[in-house]
Amino acid sequence: MTRYIEGPFRLLAGRTDDEWLLLDVNSADPAYVPRSSLPDAAVGNRIDGDLRFEGEEPTLREATVDTETRFRFRRTDEALFEATRTCFETARAEGEAMNSRVTYDTDRNPNGIVYTFAEQPGSRDLFVEFRDGAKPLEPLLARAADGADPPFSVWVLDGDDPFLAVYIVLGPDGVLERTMRDTYG
């Protein structure tokens, strides 16, 4: 029996270099497809298309890139920027494990949203969960889209600080994005 699942999907790196992980935007259900089905796509893109299941391996049909959002996952020795530390300290002072704040450019226009997540006890690694889709970034992107139009650039940064940062850059062609690339590569 053939079944179909309609997109949109968020594109992430697969388990190997030969596959993509597609997360259903609404349910976060995962599916793995060959990279050849979307050879020019990038991690983070939002994809429209249909998954067709015949047997165990899905195939992606009529796929197009809907939004060219780019995800970057970096473990870094670089100090995380002041806005992340301030965001985290506010969360800690309020007894919260997560916090967010909008950042602004020199003209006081919003240019990003930073989220901080306190390190989790035990073996839980939020960096890996975000990277592998176990903890979807979609809810954060949906909130960002309430006040700005995609595409976005998303940086998931894990440094020596006691928190993980997710920074959604609202203008992927702007000064903030260039600064992020220069600093975190």
The domains of the chain, with CATH numbers, are: 3-68 (2.40.50.140), 71-184 (no CATH)
pTM reported for the whole predicted model: 0.92
What's the rounded mean pLDDT across residues 147-174?
94
Q: What is the pLDDT of residue 134?
A: 94
Structural tokens at position 89? 């300290």
What's the rounded mean pLDDT across residues 53-71?
88
Q: What is the pLDDT of residue 73?
A: 97
Amino acid at 98: M
Structural tokens at position 182? 């220069």
Which residues have CB under 8 Å from 51's CB, separation 6+? 4, 5, 7, 9, 22, 31, 33, 58, 59, 60, 61
Q: What is the pLDDT of residue 30?
A: 93
Average per-residue pLDDT for the chain: 92
Q: What is the pLDDT of residue 40?
A: 85
* Nearest partner of 12 among 174, 98, 134, judged by Cα: 134
Q: How confident is the model at residue 70 (pLDDT cuts 50, 70, 90)?
A: very high
Q: What is the pLDDT of residue 62?
A: 87
Please report, rounded to a whole number, the percentage of residues in the chain having pLDDT higher than 70.
99
Q: How confident is the model at residue 56 (pLDDT cuts 50, 70, 90)?
A: confident
